Amino acid sequence: MTKMVSGLLVLALGVGTASVRAQDLPTLTLEEALDIARDRNPSYLTAIAQADASGASVRQQYGAFFPSLSLSMGWNGSSRTSLSAEDEFGQTVTLPDPVSVRGSSASQGFSASWTLFDGLRNVNSLGAAKFNLAAAHAGADYQGINVDAEVSQRFYQAVREQRLVEVEEQLLTSAQERLSANERLFRVASVSQVDVLGARVDLASAQQQLDVQLASARKARLQVLQSLGILGEIDDFTLEGGFPPVFDPETLTIDDLVQRAFEANPVVAQREFQYESARKSSAAARGAWLPSLSFNGGWSRGQQNQGFGAVFDFDPGQNRGYSFGISVNWQAFDGFQRSQAIASANSQARQAQETLRLESLQLEQAVRAAFIDLQTAHSGLDLQRRATELSRQRIEFAQEQYREGAIDFTSLQQIIDNGAQQERSLVNAEFNFANQLVLLEQQVGEPVRPQG
């Protein structure tokens, strides 16, 4: 009977059982998964595309400081046939033969307009565009952190499911050993047929539980592939690596974590940039009260010919000229449109400021809450480790009692079932610590686990 129960006491919680590992499947580590996600995850790539679009807005605002230039080139032709004309006295007379008159013209030119001063609206609009670009990049960084957290969580979820597969395989092996032992004991009349039938039921139940867990592990790996953005390109893979090393959260300081979050978490920087952009937009709106100064000029040349000789003439140099001018414009009254625009811009700036303050408060609360959850997960893991060890010792004592006839097979099986549940709970407790660590690092914006 020692061999019958010993399988439960040596549950291997590592990765890589033969039942789910095929020799031709690729292996995947967490580091490799994170690298793939940065290249293929749709959410992260969408954030990058939005940042690129903001870069185009900055270039557009730079263009407002340069003069606008337009070029023109054109040709015209006409033909007119007349049967009447006016004589020297202004009288209309009929001509003996029709008279045809043809003419053509060609023209080329360019014009330029340059705003010399617009109440600093262009300067402030450029500043707003730059802050929007910085906010977009911060948003992409924040999305990258969220993607890393999602991939890490799903990877650890797959690790948990895989380790639970190994638990169920060990339980199945233990059930097979118990059945074999009871059948041998039944042949020598040491146990009853009831014990043999109970062992067979336990074996069938263990096989069913293993099948269910194998399916759960397969689905967990599919979720990993989906988070990487490569689902459908790879059918399956094997995990390489496990949960992160466990450490005592008391080695961390909550105030230090909050300060690090304010400095490292891109969501705060994103709100700060958005607030600065709103302030610049507000200043640009106030610039509408100032007059604008602009310069415009142009140059042209052209010619007119009898017949169609000027059509497609690329060097019409007979007539030429240029013009220039400087204008000052000030909108004295616009139906309170400027006032409304300034009020709206000021309101958006105040909203952005309050959004920044709200985001800071929410971030601090999230960091503190995640730290509490990590502490709770660590405490729960310690308790579960002790409970699992006690359960293993209890199985050893129960085995001795069963061999001596002090307890029956049903009582032994109940103790073994409880021990199996403790083993599953230990895997779940290890996963919970890893998951809470990921959530804390997601809020802080950088790793917090001790190095070395």
pLDDT for residue 440 is more than 70: yes
Tokens of 349: 């700036």
CA 271/CA 136 separation, integer angstroms: 10
In a domain, 96, yes or no: no
Residue 288: partners with Cβ closer than 8 Å, 6 or more residues away? 119, 121, 331, 338, 341, 342
In a domain, 431, yes or no: yes
Phi-psi label, residue 75: left if phi above 0, alpha if psi -120 to 50, beta otherwise? beta
In a domain, 109, yes or no: no
Torsion of CA 38, 41, 47, 50, to 10 degrees: 110
User: Phi and psi (nearest 5°) for 421?
Assistant: -65, -35
pLDDT at residue 452 in the model: 59
Q: How far is CA 198 from CA 321, 334, 412, 413, in A?
A: 110, 92, 11, 9
In a domain, 332, yes or no: no
Q: Greater confidence, 77 or 158?
A: 158
pLDDT at residue 390 in the model: 96
- pTM, 2 dp: 0.79
pLDDT for residue 4 is more than 60: no
In a domain, 47, yes or no: yes
pLDDT at residue 290 in the model: 86
Is-contact 301 319, C-beta < 8 A? yes
How many other C-beta atoms are found inside a 10 Å radius of the C-beta of residue 320? 13
Q: Given pLDDT bands bounded at 50, 70 and 90, which one contains residue 198?
A: confident
pLDDT at residue 296 in the model: 92
Q: Greater confidence, 97 or 329?
A: 329
Tens digit of pLDDT for each residue in 139-190? 999 999 999 999 999 999 999 999 999 999 988 988 888 788 777 777 776 7
What value does the mean pLDDT take over residues 442-447?
95
pLDDT at residue 92 in the model: 79
Is-contact 341 285, C-beta < 8 A? yes
CA 171/CA 427 separation, integer angstroms: 15
pLDDT at residue 15 in the model: 32
The distance of Cα 194 from the centroid of its chain, to the nearest Å, equals 58
pLDDT at residue 404 in the model: 76
pLDDT at residue 13 in the model: 26
Is-contact 318 108, C-beta < 8 A? no
287 closest CA partner among 405, 119, 149: 119
pLDDT at residue 364 in the model: 97
How many domains, the chain?
A: 1
Question: Which range of residues forms the domain containing residue 52?
Answer: 2-69+116-292+337-444
Torsion of CA 316, 319, 322, 323, to 10 degrees: -120
Q: What is the largest CA-CA distance in the chain?
A: 149
397 closest CA partner among 387, 407, 384: 407
Mean per-residue pLDDT of the chain: 86
∠ CA 232-236-238, rounded to 5°: 150
Tens digit of pLDDT for each residue in 209-250? 999 999 999 999 999 999 999 988 888 899 999 999 999 999
Is-contact 25 236, C-beta < 8 A? yes
In a domain, 406, yes or no: yes
Residues 39-76 as b/e (b if ≥16 CB within 10 A, e otherwise) read: eebeebbebbeebeebeebbeebeeeeeeeeeeeeebe
Q: How far is CA 211 from CA 167, 204, 240, 276, 420, in A?
A: 12, 11, 22, 57, 16
The mean-pLDDT minimum among 1-10, 318-327, 339-348 falls in: 1-10
What counts of helices (H) and strands (E) characterise the chain?
9, 6
In a domain, 349, yes or no: yes
Domain CATH code at residue 25: 1.20.1600.10
In a domain, 111, yes or no: no
Catalogue the E-assigned strands of 31-171: 68-86, 92-117
pLDDT for residue 3 is more than 60: no
